[in-house]
Structure formats: C-alpha cells, structure tokens
Chains A and B, each alone.
Chain A
Amino acid sequence: MAPQVVIAPLLIALVTAILSLLLRRFPRAQRAVSLTGALAYLGGVAWLATAVARESILVYQVSAWQAPLGITLVADALSTFMLGLTAVVSLAAVVFSARYMSEYGQQLSYHALYHLLVVGVTGSFLTGDIFNLFVWFEVMLLSSYVLVVFYSGPEHTRAALQYTVLNLLGSAVMLLAIGGLYSTTGTLNMADMARRLANPAEFGIDPVPVLGIAAILFAVFALKAGIVPFQFWVPAAYRAAPAPVSAMLAGVTKKVGIYAIVRLYFTVFAAASLPAGLSLPGFAGDSFLAFFGPILFVMAAASIVLGGVGAVSRVDLDGVLAYSSIGQIGFVVLPLAIAATVPGVRELGIAAALIYALNHGLAKAMLFLASGTIREAIGTVRFEYLGGLARRTPVLSVGFFLGALALVGIPPLSGFFGKLLVFRTAADAGAVGGQGATLALALALGGAILTVAYFSRAWNEGFWGTQSEAVRTATYSPTLVAVVISLAATLVIVGVGFDPVMRAARAAAGAAVDRGTYVESVLPGGSP
C-alpha cells in the first residue's frame, strides 16, 4: 500500500471545504457537496484504517524529504481510532446541519468552515511533528472561533471573545514551549525527539528543562481538552455555538487535546527520565510520566467534581450538557492518570481512556444534536419552558434517554464498557500496589452518582411532567430526529458489538506505548 493513503482523509476534507466555499451561491449544491464530502471522509478513514490494520503503522514523508528534516505524517492505530470517532460524529453533524442551518447561514460559508475544522482535527491526529501540531491546532481553532460566534448575538460575541482570547494566549504559550523544546532537544520531529530523549547523554540534552517545558505544553493541551482548571471557557462557548458545532466541539475537538496528551506524553516524553539526584517534592520516581500522573489525577478529580456539581444546578439543557462535558472529560483523564503513575496497567489505562473518549464523543454529540432539535422546534432549551417532551416526541426522548444512560454507564450501551474499564484500571492498579487506587475508585463512583443526578434532573424537568404550551404546539423535524436516533443506535451497536471496538482500542493503546516501532518507522535505522 502506498503511504499516500495517509493524507487521503486530509485531502478529502480540504477539497470539500474549498468546493463548498466556491458553491456558496448555490445552497442545494453546497449541501450535496458537504454531505458527499463527509461520506467520502468516512470512506477515506475506513480505507486508511484497513491499511493501518495491515501494516500497523504508515508514514508519509511530505515531498519525500526524510524525517527529521521534512514534514512527516504518521498514521497508526491510535490516530485511526481517533479519526474513526471524528468521521462518525462529523457525518452525523453534517447531515444535521444540512437541515438545521438556515440558507442565510449556509451562504456565510458555514459548510466551508465546518470542513476546515475537520481538516484541522485530521491534521492534528496525523502529524508527526510538534510545530505542525501547532499549525493544525491553529487551523482547527481559527474555524472554531468563527463557528462559535456564528449567530453573533450578544451572548455569542461575548462567549467567542472569551474563547478567542484564551486560545490566542494558549497558542502563544504553545509557541514558547515548542521553541524551548527545539532549543533543548534540537529537533521538532516527535520520533526523533523520543529517540534523543531516550539517549540524552549522546545528544547533549539536559532532561530537567525538558520536563519544565513539557509541563508548559501540557497546560495548552489541558486548555484544549477543557480539563479543570482550564475549563472556564467551555460552558459559554458550547452554549453559544450552533448545535452541530457544539456536537463537534464536545465530541471531537476536545479529544484532540486528549490525543495530544497521549501521543506526546506516553509516546515521546515517556522516553526520558530525570537524573536520580533530582527529587521533586511530592513526586515519586524519576520518569516523566510519574511526574504528570499525580497532576493528571488532581485535574481529573477536580473536573469530575466541578463538572458534576455545575451540571446539577443549570437552568437549561445546553448548560447541563456543557458542564457534563467537563465532568466526563475527567473520566477520560482519570485512567490516563493511573496509566501514567502505575506502569503495570499502562496499556489498559490508555485503552480505557480511549474507549471512554469514544463513548463521550458519540453520546455527547448526540445529546447536543437532540438539544438542537428541541431548540429548533421550541426556540429555547430552558427547563422552565420545557416539560412533557417524552409524551410529545417519544422517539427523540428515547434518543436522549439512551445518550444519558450511555454517559451514566448502563449496559448494553457503549458507556457501560467505558465506565467498567475505568473501574477495572483503578482496581488493577490497586492490585499491583499502585497508590491512590482506592481514591480513584471512590472518585469514579462519586462522579457516576453525580452523572445520574444531573441527568435525572434534566429528564424530569424536560421530558416528564406536565406539557408546556410550547412543547404541545411545536413540530419536530423528522430529519433531525432521525440523525439523533441513528447516533443513539450507534451507541447501542458499539455496546453490543463491543469486541472489535475493544480490539481497536487495545491496538491504539499498544501503538501509543510502543515507542520502538514508532521511531523505527519514522526514522528507519534511527532506533536506539
């Protein structure tokens, strides 16, 4: 298989974006191109995934400039796992937008921006170079700024201002960290950096400043992922953006931060170890991951608690979903924290985080789309105007209910396995003598109870109870409900046919920790 297949998803999304920009005067043609592009993207990702399944890792050196000099794109099981999530959520969101966005909104290049967002996400998943990661982040963020402010009402401009300023500061900090990494390690290529960090004496690298710079970079990824204490932009931005964009932001772009943490900290920086003499107060061990483990743990704990408590007290559906998204990202980070601290459960922990990310991506995207359907029909999602939706539109309510159950973690939905694996990681870590495993278990349990609490409240206030006038007289678009239900069906399918998903996640976790293969594939003959 030619390595060019690596850039197939990237090119498909880019061509779709350009074509939909050119067709902005012809809304029907634009919609058709956009939908075809999303389908083709799914096909491209599937093609890439089969190629990666056969050859385990594919490397594309742009213009045949060999790494570490040229730009490298790398597709392995971890990248294709995340791309698969992107393709599914993106297709659902595009179908939803085709019906949901007004013609005027489409003329304002909605579809072009949307596909550029997908381009940025795809590039971030595929790049093998830290500076290119920055560039793809910017591609993704620039389109998301405009999509967040899309309605440009008072609330939207305010949310977008906060979102934009924070992310611009994040980008500046990322640039600082990248400059520092280049200066200390002498390379920007991830594989080359891993090779050099594994052998610091040979390349004259002092690992201590690298740790500090890695910590600065970490703050940027945590900001993108919306982990506490970098979560404050999340609720306003998610509520301001159009529903399909919120679905993409919560379902996919958040996961880019998680992916970057897994890729850089578990594949690249894990190669390095600190000199034995340097003992940091409160941290055990001399590996980089042992340093980030406790930090991740505290951030995960704070996210679960703050997101859960915040979601319980919201007055509208979008607010509950946005805060819930902070809490759920805590569940993604928690197994990562355990994986970083306890080497014995590293692969299991990463697999658990990926499964949970997949579950959250699908379920939260579906819930935001459900909320968008309700908003389109009624005009608001504030609980005081809702009530009795379950009797008025049972199909949509079943979808919402399934999504809520998936996030709570009820079998046979995908969320059950996500939660189970998080618990299993904590229990296994405890079994091999990891510290704080009991605390992690208690935390996961408390978080699960909070999830039950805020979703039962949302369900009681929105879907049960007396029907309000607005709910009774509203008409619900069958297309939008169909999209919601198809995503809900995906949740059930993933849960029932969990074996292949688990195998994919296992393969992805294996690829994340298998540094030797990664380095050897990108830099033939360069492996230490």
Chain B
Amino acid sequence: MTQFVLAGVLGLLFAFGTFLVLRRDIVRVVWGVTIIAQSANVYLVTMGGLAGTVPIVGHGPPADPSSVTDPLVQALVLTAIVIGFGTTAFALVLTYRVYEEHGTIDLDELGETGGEV
C-alpha cells in the first residue's frame, strides 16, 4: 500500500514541479526546480525498498539481517540533499541578482531587456 501512495505523491510532486518550472516568474521557476530535486531525493529513498526496518546496528547482529532497509540509498540521499541546499541557495541569490540587473523577475520581460555583452 505504502508504495502506491508514495508513487502517487511522487508523480504529483514531479507534475507540480514541472508546472512551476514553466511559469514566467523566476522565483517560481526556482521553486519548481527545488521541488523536482527534492522529489528526485524521495524517489531515490524508495529505490532501496520500503519493507525493512530502520538500518541501525544495535548491540550484536539483528535477528534477521535481511529485514533491514538498504542504508546505502539513505547515504546517497544525504549527499544529494546537501548538494541541493547549495544549489538552491545559489539559485535564489542569482534570482536576486537578476532582479537587481534587470528590474524584473518576469522571464518574458527579461527576454526583451537583455543588452549585448
């Protein structure tokens, strides 16, 4: 059951992210990219399987080693989240900079006012 709910939510998140990326407002575009990146992270977590228990090694081996969820994907997701933080911060600063330079965050207007290098 969980996997169907998760698949539906992931699909919705990707659709919503794509919808935002196609907006005219740059801030929404950045939000859209962030949402898509986060849904990619959630998707990555699901790749390790959802059936097992938490991958924590306590004292001694777990009763049934095969019941533990794959911890590797969670390590991967941590890396991807950190990278995502950095890139999102940069994208937001860049948005501010675009506003300073062009006086607008409307992508249509941006297409008209751009000067020559």
Contacts and interface: CB of A to CB of B under 8 A. Distances in A.
Partners in one complex: yes
Contacts of B26: 161
Nearest to B29: A165
B83 A157 contact: no
Contacts of B79: 131, 135
B68 interface: no
B101 A164 contact: no
Interface in B46-84: 47-48, 72-73, 76, 79-80, 83
A448 to B, nearest CB: 29
Name the 9 nearest CB pairs between A and B, nearest first. A183-B47, A179-B44, A179-B47, A172-B40, A175-B40, A154-B101, A157-B98, A172-B37, A168-B33
Instruction: Please classify how large the interface on chain A is, using the bins under 10, 10 to 19, 20 to 34, 35 or more.
Output: 35 or more
Contact of A154 (B33, B47, B80, B114): B114
A373 to B, nearest CB: 16
Given A164-B94, A169-B33, A142 B86 contact: yes
Contacts of A157: 94, 97-98, 101-102
Interface of B is mostly: helix
A165 B116 contact: no
Contact of A149 (B94, B102, B115): B94
A182 interface: yes
Contacts of B48: 182-183
Contact of A155 (B47, B83, B114): B114
Given A172-B36, A179-B73, A160 B117 contact: no
Nearest to B96: A157
21 contacts: A135-B83, A138-B87, A145-B90, A152-B101, A154-B101, A154-B115, A155-B116, A158-B102, A161-B94, A161-B95, A164-B90, A169-B21, A172-B40, A176-B44, A179-B40, A179-B47, A179-B73, A182-B47, A239-B117, A316-B117, A318-B117
A180 B47 contact: yes
A171 interface: yes
Nearest to B41: A175
A168 B40 contact: no
Contact of B102 (A138, A154, A172, A183): A154
A240 B110 contact: no
A155 B76 CA distance: 36
Nearest to A177: B40
B83 A138 contact: yes
A147 to B, nearest CB: 12
Given A165-B21, A165-B29, A158 B117 contact: no
A171 B91 contact: no
A217 B29 CA distance: 23
A146 interface: yes
B40 A176 contact: yes
B87 A240 contact: no
Interface of A is mostly: helix
B113 interface: yes
A503 B98 CA distance: 49
A154 B114 CA distance: 6
B98 A161 contact: yes
B65 to A, nearest CB: 16
Contacts of A145: 87, 90, 94
Interface string B97-117: 110011000000010011111
Interface string B18-48: 0001000010011001001101110110011
Contacts of A277: none
A40 B115 CA distance: 40
A118 B44 CA distance: 28
A154 B104 CA distance: 11
A168 B87 contact: yes
A286 B72 CA distance: 32
A134 B87 CA distance: 14
A180 B43 CA distance: 9
A153 interface: yes
B87 A158 contact: no
Contacts of A391: none
Contacts of B39: 172
Nearest to A156: B117
A314 interface: no
Given A145-B94, A179-B76, A182-B72, 16 more contacts: A138-B87, A142-B83, A154-B113, A157-B102, A161-B26, A161-B94, A164-B90, A165-B30, A168-B87, A171-B37, A171-B83, A175-B41, A179-B44, A179-B73, A316-B117, A382-B116
A180 to B, nearest CB: 7
A158 B114 contact: yes
Interface in A419-467: none
Most buried by A among B40, B101, B110: B40
A188 B98 CA distance: 38
Contacts of B98: 157-158, 161
Contacts of A239: 117
Contacts of A176: 40, 43-44
B97 A149 contact: yes
A198 B14 CA distance: 33
B10 to A, nearest CB: 10
A514 B33 CA distance: 39
B87 to A, nearest CB: 6
B93 to A, nearest CB: 10
Contacts of B87: 138, 142, 145, 164, 168, 171
A142 B47 contact: no
Interface in A173-207: 173, 175-176, 178-180, 182-183, 188
Contacts of B47: 179-180, 182-183
Contacts of A135: 79, 83
A175 B44 contact: yes
A473 B26 CA distance: 43
A382 B97 CA distance: 26
Contacts of B83: 135, 138, 142, 171
